[in-house]
Structures are given as structure tokens and as C-alpha cells.
Structure 1
Amino acid sequence: MSNATAKSLQESLRLKLDYDQLTNCMRCGFCLPACPTFKETGVEAESPRGRISLMKAAVDGIMEPNVRFEEQMGHCLGCRACEPACPADVKYGQLIEQARDAIEDHTTQHRTWVKGVRKVVFGQLFPHQNRMKLLGKGLRFYQKSGAQTLARKTGVVGLFSKQMSALENVLPEAAGKGVVDQLGTRVPAIGEKIGTVGMFRGCLMDVLFTETNRKTVQLLAKAGFDVVIPEAQNCCGALHAHSGEMDQAKQLARHNIRAFQEAGVDYIVSNAGGCGAILVEYDHLLHDDAQWQEQAKWFASRVKDISTILLEKGRPLTFTEGPGVRITYQDSCHLRNVMKAGESPRKLLKQMPGATFVEMKDAGSCCGSAGIYNLTQPDMANTILDHKMDHAKATDAHYIVTSNPGCLLQMKLGIDKHAPGSPMQAVHIVDFLYERV
């Protein structure tokens, strides 16, 4: 990185970082045991406290941000486990996103082809549902035509990276038709109506986990809700925000707010912890946009996870399960640390008659998925997953249940790697509940 680029990045950090949050950090160290990267390395710079110190040093002019600074900001999983542990209530998640936003404007680390891929994925693919459907159709053709079998036999997938090859092996069947194509934009409540909810269908969720979206709608209908699925909604913007594409994240947020306000819903339901975490923080995302502040607050105050809405607002559902089945739960970091809804899935799972719920050691620590972290930082992601699977296997559970698609794929990857041939399965909580109601 040239001196001119470093100076420019330093000025951008000064403009974008919330200095009050930087100074709120007391350097007490309560965040250290909660941080996955610090636990793995023991290196101060790999902790939230360390990264905040680096940010503040750059803003104060004590150091110039360099390539190592960029790398350290990129090493963070963004799991935000440090936030509940912080006695000063430092908004670390907001700081790391602000730092990455500044870095993205000045980075010299992206190769030309990486910049091209980012531009296509973040700007031309995720924001457009019709294009996501085309992606789903393409993936489905790849999976059904024999091309996938050929690619695996010839090792073509592995030419990109071992990590991508491993993840390709656990991808669910893609769909060319999303939940709206299957169910329409409005599904009435079964029995007496309790309220009206809007379902956030997501982008990848509606391509790779369409059945989970369909089952989400049907569970909500059984619980007494009219379900509206606004066709105009788009990607939540989480991957954009986490990757330093903040302007695009804000644009996506405005579009979603308008879509759900026009739908006239009581609540907005998410079945993906990663999506829900940014949806519930749209008010912060747009806090400096006077035109959208009030609308963003309206939206954020209505966002609920599927487990929470079923448990607290819906008509009680009756579940069945065979005797002797053991269940454990792996937290979605953002559901637990941002949406504060880590107990709702557990309470639902504990309602299974005949089943035994076994709490996994360190279930609240990150599994290593973290959006696209397991692709961009595979070594750290796999180390974290190795330890996670030690704890998962110790539960002797038949089912590892989770509430986020990224976590689900990561746990499937862990089972493939550490427990091949075992009866253990990873499953989304919606799929698990739907099969037993």
C-alpha cells in the first residue's frame, strides 16, 4: 500500500468510524473469552479490543493503516459475541462494518478479477430476485443434468479451492421457482386469524432453501397468521454491509422498507439469523438518512425470528417425536447476539415429547461460517469448525438444529468431515418443526 493510499484510508476511517464507540471501549478484556479468533490464536490483535485499538490508533494518527491493518479487519468473523460480553455496551459490529466500508474504498488487495466478481455479485445479482431465480435454475440444471457428477468425478470443482469443493458437496437441491411461485403472495391463516405477518424470503434462501421458506409460511399459517410475501422485496443487504459495500446495503434496505410498509403487516418474519440481524438494525443502517429514519424504525421494531413469533405470538403448535431421539442446537451468532433470540429455538425444541434436548458445549460460539468467511478465510473457519464438531459429537445427538442457512451448511460440512456415516444430521429448525407438527 502506498503512502498516499494509506493517508487516504486514514482520512476515510476518520470520517466513517464512530469515535464515541471507539472511546467507549475500556480495554477491560471481557470480550477476549467470547472472541473465536482470539480463542484460537491468543493474539491481542485478533480480539475485539485489539481491533478497536488498531482502529483508534489509525484515526488518531498514531499509525498509518497498512496491508496488515486490512488483513486484521478481514480476520474478524463479525459474530458479535463480544457485544453481550461488553460492560460498556460498545457497538463493535457497527465499528467493524464502518472500518470495512472505509477499507473497501481504498483497498489494493483485490485482484482485478476479484473486483469484477464483487461488482457482479453485489451489484448485479443479489439485489435482483429474477436474476437469483436464473441462478437457481442454473444450479438445478447443474445438479440434475449429470454435470455435477461429472465435475466431482473429474475433480473440476476442486480446481477452484478445496473449501469450495467441500461446500459444493453439501449444497441442497437448488430451485428455479421461489416461494411466491409456489404459494403466491398471500397465504391465509388456518383457523382463527391472530394477525398478519410479512415473510422475508431472502435471496439465497429462496434459491437454495426454497422448501424451508415454503414450510416457514405453512407453519405461520398453522399458528394463525395470514402470511404476506411482498414480491417487491429484495436481498437484505447483510453480505453487502459485512463486505464494505455500505451504500448498496442502504439502497437495499430502503427498497425492503417500502415493500413491507405497503404490505401493511403486523410483524416481519425472518428464518435466517444473518438476514434478521441486519433487518432489525435498519434503523441504525439508515440513522443518517433523515428521509428514511422513521420508516426504518417502523421496520426494525417489527422484525421477529420465526422461532420467536411461533413461541410468543402464534397459536400453540403440538409437536410429535419418537422416544430416544437426542437433539442439540447450534446458535446462529446473529440470532443470539444481535436479535437476542437464542432461547426461543431451545424452548420450541424442548417441547418435543419423547425427545431429549442436550445442550452443546459452547453452542453460542461461532461455527466458522460467518457469511462467506469460510470461503475467504478457510484456514481459520476450518479450525473453528474442528473444535465445534468435537463439542457436537460429545452430545451424541441425532440432530444438530440451527436457525441460519450458513450455519446449516457449515454443520453439514462438519458432519461430512468428522462424522461420516454417523446417524447425526444437521437440519434447519423450520424443517425440523414442520415434519413434527
Structure 2
Amino acid sequence: MSTRAGLKDRLHYNETFNCVQCGYCLPVCPTYETMKSEVHSPRGRINLVKMLAEDKVKAEDLREPIEKCLGCRACETACPTSVQYGKILEGAKEVLEFAEQKSRAQKISESLIFNQMFPSKRWMNTIGNLSWFYQKSGLQKMAQRTEITHLAPLHLGKFESVLPDLPSPVERKKRARQFKAIGSRKLTVGFITGCVMDAIFYETNRNTIDLLTKAGAEVLIPVNQTCCGALHAHAGKITDAKALAKRNIEAFEKEEADYIVNNAGGCGATLLEYGELFKGDIEWESRAQAFSNKVRDISQVLSELDGLSFTKEVNGTITFQPSCHMVNVQKVKDEPLSLLKQVKSKGYREMNDKERCCGSAGIYNIVNYEDSMEILDSKMKNVKDTNATIIVTSNPGCLLQMKLGIQREGLEKSVRAVHLVDLLVEAGAVSK
């Protein structure tokens, strides 16, 4: 196979011909809306990928438009010809990753983040424990009072202020690996605890287990599970993403679970596409597809079990900001809303254009902060129009982004953001 043919394969060149340049993707693309540029639209990026495959442009001509893409994949739902934009996007990112000339410092820092930190439970627990100490020791208040947080790189000081309260190291160590269903067992599920979820949103994970057991599911937590690989795949590090996927597949194959449950829209989308990740791999494709066939969002499982009732009224009006990847990739739309509408509250108010990306997109809001904030500001206009006092999300990145949006609008005293799972617990979920 020639180098050019190999490049075309990696870029999924044949897929680009399914794009007829009709423009149906333009109204749903957040970056096209804010950047007003054709190269920052799905069809513009696809055209650039095609031109790179045909040796009409250089890889560097593609880098900025591709890196500015949120990867929300709303374009896929709007496309009349079913263009697989996600596949083309990740192929482009893999090619760009391979082509980039990196300094020794870049290589060392990326190896630390992608190869050591995210795949490691020990690293994630250490981050969670240090964050707990930072919060409880008074260091956080001192840092905020002296405005030292403003010196943090990549605007990380902004996100530090909206982190949830974290549990102590002792609480983390006490968690069991198996939880029996309350009442009769209807299902056995394996739970993907995630890397960032378990480090920073440990309470949400604990509430997820609580809801599942009350609804009638036995919950298993495989010891050897690891990061889903989403960040690696989105960074073009496909080999690393596959290595993590293999670890998860092997870990969950050892459990006799009916479903593999997640509570993070972005992670769920990656897990659901393991089969696609190993397409053509004789050894792994069927195993990966069997894994993906079991993947479910927490809202899907709770809706199917129908084993919960809610005993407390939540003080506020609710609106819902769904995860892009949960809607556009997992195709989960109705189940979260069905659960929300069972909660006793002062009412549910539909947000205009609720399925448009909030600008979080993994680490997009860190590496493309200003662009992300412009998208967030647009989203917050729709939030304010609802006059809701509770913004419910289904993904940790979205949750932090919406908290940041509340802060940017000066609404901290009247509006709060909460994960769907945490709201259901707050609403007094009990077994039927």
C-alpha cells in the first residue's frame, strides 16, 4: 500500500464523498455559529480532510479548524446523507498527531498525562485526595482570597472555584466492589466508575450505585477497569485509546453483567463505539462489539427497571442541559426527561435549543478557553430565558461548564447546576 493510499485510509477519505455540501449541518454547529467561518463548519472541515488526502493542502492547514471542533457530533443528527463525521474527525486527529513535530518537553508532559495519569487509579485517587485536602485545610479559601488562583495556567483557576466538595481518603477506601440489589434482583450491572468521575465526582458515583440498587440492580465494580480512552481518542492517540479499551473489555468480560452502566455522556459514547474502534481487528472486533452492546447510560437502566419513586419535593424549577455525546452518539433523549418529570418540583421548563453544545467538550474549555466561553455565553442566554433555578446535566464536564456559566452571569445565589443522578437522590429516591 502506498503512503498516499495509507493516508486516505486513515483519513477515511471514501467517507468524505458522502458529504454533498448541502449545509444542513451549519445551523447546528456551535463553532460555525460563533466563528462565522466555513472552515469551522462540519462541511468545511470535511472538505479540508478530502483536500489533504488528495495532497492539495498540508496537514498544518487542517490543524486549527480541526482543533477548534468541539466534536459534539450534532452535525451527524442533522445530516440527510448520514455522513460519519465522528469517524472522519478522529481520523484527521490521528493524522495530525502523527505529523506534529513535538519538543522533548511536550512529549514528556503528554506521556505523563495520557500514559500515566489518566489510566492510573492511584493517580486519580491521589488527585481526589489532594483536592479534598486543598478544600478542607483552608488552602482553597486562602488561595481565592489572595487571588493566587488567577495565576494558574490555562484558566484552571476558574474551574477550581466550581469543583464539588470531595470525600475524604477514608471514605474512598471504604467502597465495596459488589452491591446487592434492594429487594428482588432484576438485573446485574457492571459499573464504569471512570477516571475523572471517580476522582472529582465520587459522590455522584456513590449516588449512582445507590439508585441502581434501590431500583433492583446488583452492581459490580471490576477492579481492573480503567479510563475509557475518550481523551486519548479525541487527541488522536488511537493506539493508546485501544490499549485502554482492551483493559476495560477484559475486565468486564470476567463479570456476568447484563449491562455496563455509565453516568457520563462522553465516556458512554466512547464505550459504545469500542466495536467501531476495533473494526477489522480479527482478535478484538467481536469482543469489543459484545462489550459495546451492553453499554447503557444510567438513565436508560433506571427507566427500564422502573423501580424508583420520589418522596421529597426539590425546591426550584428545573431545566435540562443534556450531554451532546449522550444525545448524538448514544441516542439517549427520552429517559432523562422521563425521570426528571417524575421528580416533585416547582415545574420543568424546556430550554430552547437544549441539545446544543455548552462548550465543555472534554478538555476543549481548557485548551480553547475563549472560544468555549463564547459558546457558553450563548447557552446561558437560553438558560436565563427559562427562569429555571436548577440546571440538570448528564455529564461531569457539562456540569462544571454550567456552574461556570452561572458564575459568569452572577447567578450563584439564585441558580445551581446538578448532575441528574444527584438530583434524583435529592428528590428522595426509594424502592417502589
**TM-score of the superposition, structure 1-length normalised?**
0.93
User: 1:175–1:207: 8 Å Cα contact kept in structure 2?
Assistant: no
Give the 3 Å change call, closer, same or farther, for CA 88–226 of structure 1 in structure 2.
same
1:107 to 81, 96, 100: 100
- TM superposition shift of 1:89: 1.0
Name the residue aligned to 2:233: 241
- TM superposition shift of 1:12: 6.6
Read off the aligned partner of 1:329 and give its amino acid letter: F
Give the 3 Å change call, closer, same or farther, for CA 120–176 of structure 1 in structure 2.
farther
Matched pairs, number: 426
- TM superposition shift of 1:107: 1.4
Name the residue aligned to 1:280: 272
2:347 to 347, 352, 356: 356
Name the residue aligned to 1:5: none
In 1: Cα distance, 2:366 partner to 2:144 partner:
19
List gaps (5 residues or longer) in structure 2: none
In 2: Cα distance, 1:315 partner to 1:126 partner:
34
Tell me whether 1:79 sits opposite 2:75 in the alignment.
no
1:414 to 384, 405, 424: 405
In 2: Cα distance, 1:307 partner to 1:355 partner:
22
Tell me whether 1:423 sits opposite 2:423 in the alignment.
no
Read off the aligned partner of 2:17 and give its amino acid letter: T
Give the 3 Å change call, closer, same or farther, for CA 145–179 of structure 1 in structure 2.
closer
2:129 to 108, 117, 137: 137
* 1:73-115: CA deviation from partner (whole Å, max 9, x where unpaired): 100000000011111111111111111111111214x555443
In 1: Cα distance, 2:178 partner to 2:154 partner:
42
Q: The residue matched to 1:227 in structure 2 has which SS?
A: strand
User: 2:406–2:415: 8 Å Cα contact kept in structure 1?
Assistant: yes
Name the residue aligned to 2:282: 290
* 1:193-235: CA deviation from partner (whole Å, max 9, x where unpaired): 1010011000010010111001101100001011001111000
In 2: Cα distance, 1:132 partner to 1:250 partner:
20
In 2: Cα distance, 1:33 partner to 1:135 partner:
40
User: 1:180–1:229: 8 Å Cα contact kept in structure 2?
Assistant: no
- TM superposition shift of 1:265: 0.4
Q: The residue matched to 1:356 in structure 2 has which SS?
A: coil
Q: The residue matched to 1:63 in structure 2 has which SS?
A: coil
Name the residue aligned to 1:394: 385
User: 1:21–1:95: 8 Å Cα contact kept in structure 2?
Assistant: yes
1:65 to 56, 59, 81: 59
In 1: Cα distance, 2:418 partner to 2:258 partner:
29
* 1:331-357: CA deviation from partner (whole Å, max 9, x where unpaired): 100000000002211111111235411
2:362 to 341, 360, 371: 371
User: 1:178–1:207: 8 Å Cα contact kept in structure 2?
Assistant: no
Tell me whether 1:44 sits opposite 2:38 in the alignment.
yes
2:332 to 323, 326, 341: 341
- TM superposition shift of 1:316: 2.8
In 1: Cα distance, 2:337 partner to 2:327 partner:
11
User: 2:299–2:336: 8 Å Cα contact kept in structure 1?
Assistant: yes
Give the 3 Å change call, closer, same or farther, for CA 176–263 of structure 1 in structure 2.
farther
In 2: Cα distance, 1:16 partner to 1:56 partner:
12
User: 1:196–1:265: 8 Å Cα contact kept in structure 2?
Assistant: yes
User: 1:282–1:296: 8 Å Cα contact kept in structure 2?
Assistant: yes
2:251 to 236, 246, 259: 259
Name the residue aligned to 2:27: 33
User: 1:179–1:213: 8 Å Cα contact kept in structure 2?
Assistant: no
1:230 to 214, 222, 231: 222
Deviates more, 1:151-160 or 1:369-378: 151-160
Q: How high is the sequence identity, in percent, across the aligned residues? A: 44
In 1: Cα distance, 2:118 partner to 2:343 partner:
37
In 1: Cα distance, 2:337 partner to 2:251 partner:
32
- TM superposition shift of 1:164: 1.4
Give the 3 Å change call, closer, same or farther, for CA 168–282 of structure 1 in structure 2.
same
Tell me whether 1:122 sits opposite 2:122 in the alignment.
no
Q: The residue matched to 2:17 in structure 1 has which SS?
A: helix
Output aligned runs, 1:80-99, within 5 Å: 80-99=73-92
Read off the aligned partner of 1:147 and give its amino acid letter: L
2:13 to 2, 19, 35: 19
Q: The residue matched to 2:70 in structure 1 has which SS?
A: coil
User: 1:126–1:132: 8 Å Cα contact kept in structure 2?
Assistant: yes
Read off the aligned partner of 2:236 and give its amino acid letter: G
Read off the aligned partner of 2:77 and give its amino acid letter: P
Give the 3 Å change call, closer, same or farther, for CA 311–178 of structure 1 in structure 2.
farther
Read off the aligned partner of 2:145 and give its amino acid letter: K
In 2: Cα distance, 1:143 partner to 1:382 partner:
26
List gaps (5 residues or longer) in structure 1: 1-7
Q: The residue matched to 1:24 in structure 2 has which SS?
A: coil
Give the 3 Å change call, closer, same or farther, for CA 141–315 of structure 1 in structure 2.
same
* 1:249-307: CA deviation from partner (whole Å, max 9, x where unpaired): 00000110111110110000000001000000000011132111111111001100001
Name the residue aligned to 1:3: none
Name the residue aligned to 1:4: none
User: 2:395–2:419: 8 Å Cα contact kept in structure 1?
Assistant: yes
Structure 1 runs of 4+ with >6 Å offset: none
- TM superposition shift of 1:42: 2.1
Read off the aligned partner of 1:14 and give its amino acid letter: K
User: 1:34–1:81: 8 Å Cα contact kept in structure 2?
Assistant: yes
Read off the aligned partner of 2:364 and give its amino acid letter: Y
User: 1:134–1:176: 8 Å Cα contact kept in structure 2?
Assistant: no
In 2: Cα distance, 1:323 partner to 1:96 partner:
41
Name the residue aligned to 2:294: 302
User: 1:321–1:355: 8 Å Cα contact kept in structure 2?
Assistant: no
